[in-house]
Amino acid sequence: MIWFNSKKEKSIEPPAVTSMESTLEPTVELYETMKYRVANLQGIGARQRQEDSFTQMNALDEALYNNYGLMFAVCDGMGGMKDGKLASETAIASFRRFFTDMDRRGRVAEQLRQSVYAASEEVEQLLDGDGGSTVVIGIIYHEQLYFASVGDSFFFLKRDGKLYRLNTEHNVCHERYLENIRDGIFDPSECRSDPEAPALSQFLGMIGMCSVDYSVRPMWLQRGDVLLACSDGVGGVLSEYEILDALNCESGQDACRMLEQRLVEHARPNQDNYTALLIQCL
């Protein structure tokens, strides 16, 4: 495990799990500049090599994140293709360059979306379309959250004791469910039972990648919020109740320890690489 700096906060009770709603506008109040504490979890699972990559920029320096923002990203290289580790590392390097050069007076959300396409092109050119990676990337700038994702990694927000899934998965199950909704069929069971359901429909490095899930407008953050970006080795194994229980820990370190403990308890024989970045808003 690798840990970043962490600071204790009071946990929020009682726990509950809900879907994301349009009620995430902040309570208007005057307060001092928000502070952030970041913790990290990473393990190889039952695989032979680690193909996840992650990064954070400015998270450990209050002056830097107040002036230039904070960036974090988790990339899950695809093990069934050519060199998943190289794919995820290439994407991470691309996002770091983007954040360094980002025009902070411009449209951050659109710049972030374009940076995902740029990273995908780099991976595609490097691996000739035979390698790929998922991504969850977030930017906190002036206490507002921008995020984007491609693939099946997870991005959660814990607020007021509830857990919200902020991003959408790009897989066959989700694509067919959307098609069924357009046809007036609202039962997702058929989509979930399809053996091809988990297959990715979009990923970085894919030839012709055409869809990025991203926040069109930023979300105001509140004190007490906890963000969790993680690969499917975490989000695809643990239930929302298990994740929320961990995020209720007072420190990011304790939360990551609990997440790993839960993964060990599941004892999946084919446990994938697992990576998580946790951001506490203080």
In a domain, 126, yes or no: yes
In a domain, 23, yes or no: no
* C-alpha span between 106 and 111 (Å, rounded): 8
Contact between residue 87 and residue 122 where contact means Cβ atoms under 8 Å apart: no
In a domain, 180, yes or no: no
In a domain, 185, yes or no: no
Token pair of 46 as six digits: 């039952």
pLDDT value of position 173: 64
In a domain, 175, yes or no: no
pTM for this predicted structure: 0.85
- As to burial, measured by CB atoms within 10 angstroms (0-12 exposed, 13-18 middle, 19+ buried), residue 13 is exposed
Q: At what angle do helices 240-247 and 252-266 cross, to 10 degrees?
A: 150
In a domain, 255, yes or no: yes
pLDDT value of position 32: 75
Mean pLDDT by 10 residues, the chain (282 residues): 39 38 47 89 97 97 97 95 95 98 98 98 97 98 98 97 95 66 67 69 96 96 98 97 98 98 97 98 96
- In the DSSP assignment, the letter for residue 279 is E
In a domain, 144, yes or no: yes
In a domain, 116, yes or no: yes
User: What is the span of the domain harbouring residue 111?
Assistant: 37-168+200-281
Which CATH number characterizes residue 133's domain? 3.60.40.10
pLDDT value of position 20: 41
Tell me how many domains the chain contains: 1
Q: How would you classify residue 61: left for phi > 0, otherwise alpha for psi between -120 and 50, otherwise beta?
A: beta
